[in-house]
Amino acid sequence: MRATLVCERKEEHILTRPTSQLPIYRSVAEQIAQRIETGVWPTGKVLPAEIALAQEFRVSVGTIRRALSELTAAGALVRRRKTGTVVTGRTPQHSLRFFFDYFRLHSREGNLQNSRSVVLTVCTREATVDESERLTISKGEAVLDIHRLRLVSDRPVMHEAIILPDQLVPGFPQEPALVPERIYPVLWDQYGLKISAIRERVEADLATDVDCALLDLTAPAAVLVLHEVAYDQLARPILLNHHRACTRNDIYINEIQ
C-alpha cells in the first residue's frame, strides 16, 4: 500500500539575480547562509560580533544587523543573551528563497547536514507521455534529463532526476562534470527562469534495483519518494524533480509557517 502527501509552496521574489544586484543586507545574508549550509559555521557555532562581521564584509554594522535579523526570522540563527548569535541547525524550508539552498534530509537528531551532489548522467531525450502532460509540452518534445546522486559525508542518501524542456535551457552543459552544483539559481541567472511555486508529492515505495545499487540498500527496502513540479511566475510548469531517498539514517523535514 502506498501513502501520498501533496503540499504546495508559493512565495513572491524567491530567486534573485546575482548577489551583486541584491540589496546589500540580503547579499550578506546569503553569504552567511552559505557558510552555514556548507558547514563552515556548524550547528552551535557562535558568530563573530557584529563589528567584526561588519569589518569582514566591509559593510556597516546596521547592514550586518539587518542580515542577521533576516536569518534569525528564517530560523537559521538564534540570538542568545550573554552568548551572542548562534547557528541553530534549523533550516527555513518555509521560505522558497532558502528552499533551493538547503538540503532537506537531516540527521535523526534534526541537525542540518552538508551534502554534495555527483552528476551521474546528462542527456537530451524525448519526453515521456507523463512528462509531456506535467510540463504541458508537445508529446515527444525534447527534454534535458539530469540524474545525480546526493551524498552526506560520502554516504549516498538520495538520487534525483531533474527534467526540463530542452528549449528553455539552450546551451546547458551536456558533460556531467560541467553541470553546476546549484541548478536552480543558474536557471534564473542564465535563462531568466524564475521559480515562484512548487508542488510536491511525497510517498513511500519499495526500493528498485537502481535504488539498491546507488543507495547501498539490500532488497526488500523502503525509500522516500518526492515528486516536485516547479512553476514560474505565469504558473507555467517548467521543471520536474524526482527524488528517491533512503531514510535509514536520515529524516525529511518540511517546515510550514
Q: Is residue 83 part of a domain?
A: no
Q: Is the pLDDT assigned to residue 127 strictly greater than 90?
A: yes
Number of structural domains found in the chain: 1
What pTM does this model have?
0.65
Query: Tell me: the pLDDT tens digits for 209-252?
Result: 999 999 999 989 999 999 999 998 778 999 999 999 998 888 88
Closest CA to 75 of 195, 251, 199, 254: 254
Letter for the amino acid at 245? A
Instruction: Look at residue 232 in the predicted model and tell me its pLDDT.
Output: 85
Check which CATH number belongs to the domain holding 222 and give it. 3.40.1410.10
Q: Is residue 136 part of a domain?
A: yes
Q: Which residue has the higher pLDDT, 67 or 113?
A: 67
Closest CA to 231 of 184, 180, 189: 184
Give all strands of the β-sheet with 4-10 in edge-to-edge order.
4-10, 195-206, 222-232, 237-245, 155-165, 142-152, 115-126
Q: Is residue 52 part of a domain?
A: no
Task: Give the CA distances from residue 239 to residues 7, 135, 193, in Å, rounded to whole numbers and listed in that order.
Answer: 16, 7, 10
Q: Is residue 35 part of a domain?
A: no
Q: Is the pLDDT assigned to residue 203 strictly greater than 80?
A: yes
Domain that holds residue 237: 4-10+115-249
Q: Is residue 15 part of a domain?
A: no
Q: Is residue 175 part of a domain?
A: yes
